[in-house]
Amino acid sequence: SGEEQSPCLFQFHKDGFLVLEQFFSAEECDSMRSQIQRIVAEMEVPPHCRTAFSTREEEQLQAQGSSDYFLTSGDKIRFFFEKGVLDEKGNFLVPKEKSVSKIGHALHAYDPVFKQITHSPKVQELGRKLGLERPVVVQSMYIFKQPGIGGEVTPHQDATFLHTEPLGRIVGFWIALEDATQENGCLWFIPGSHTNGISRRMVRAASGASTCVEFVGSEPAYDDKQFIPLPISKGGLVLIHGEVVHKSELNSSESSRHAFTFHVMEAKGTTWSKENWLQPTPELPFPSLYT
């Protein structure tokens, strides 16, 4: 369209990301944090995390259990744990609220607090500023980045996991629920890296394969010096282009780095890959961002 782009949108298209400080209020952040506390308090450890390791075959069954648990999480609220927080019987070695790595992938659909945030008027307005005509929400996640054990997220592009034809139809909304700093694992980006397509795809494996997903292609070796850190204060929003290369480091600090993130797809003229791990279901077709 011939409309003038606002300077910030120009920046988004140039860099592949955009920082909007204080997009959400402290109260909105706190409401998400207290809601997640309630969800974790009621959490049952999934059965596949409770099987004691013994034979190779059981390990494979467990891996299959966890893969099914992941693959069918698109329309549910499910729990994923940090490494080393459960013993072989599935009992917690650390307090359970400190054991969770993330919760996904349908908070936006089934939890009233996260649904309200995802569809809040200012998010819808931002979607319109981005020129999204038929945006739908494909997934959401609450990420804990636990103190001391919050693992690194290696360099990746979101479109590796959420593939569309054509590319360029996915945008991530990443909300800092606490200050994100270089010490506690803020996001790092390679500016302008969203213009070269993608190098790797995660696809559903053929049924009967030993793994549920596999990677096609490979992640190139990125130059560490190209990444710039994006510290952001509580309530800030980072917009993430589906093809921009980003990562986060291990959280070696004493403080957590909670974030709520969701991904939106421009559905107009777009095909969602049938090979993506995440698929809309009859129970949960991808809901429209606009209400």
Per CATH, the number for 7-272 is 2.60.120.620
Residue 175: pLDDT over 80: yes
For residue 205, name the pLDDT band (cuts at 50, 70, 90): confident
Residue range 216-273, pLDDT digits in tens: 999 899 999 999 999 999 999 999 999 999 999 999 999 999 999 999 999 999 999 9
Q: Give the pLDDT confidence score for residue 54 in this predicted structure.
A: 55
Looking up tokens 């959490």, which residue turns up? Answer: 43
Average pLDDT over residues 98-112: 96
Nearest CA among 247, 227, 223, 219 for reference residue 153: 247
The phi and psi torsions of 107 (rounded to 5 degrees) equal: -55, -35
Contact 255, 178 (CB under 8 A): yes
Domain map of the chain by residue range? Answer: 7-272
215 or 51, which is more confident? 215
Q: Give the pLDDT confidence score for residue 109 in this predicted structure.
A: 97
For residue 1, name the pLDDT band (cuts at 50, 70, 90): very low
Nearest CA among 194, 183, 204, 203 for reference residue 156: 194
Six token digits for residue 31: 């409401």
Q: Give the pLDDT confidence score for residue 272 in this predicted structure.
A: 98
Residue 210: pLDDT over 80: no
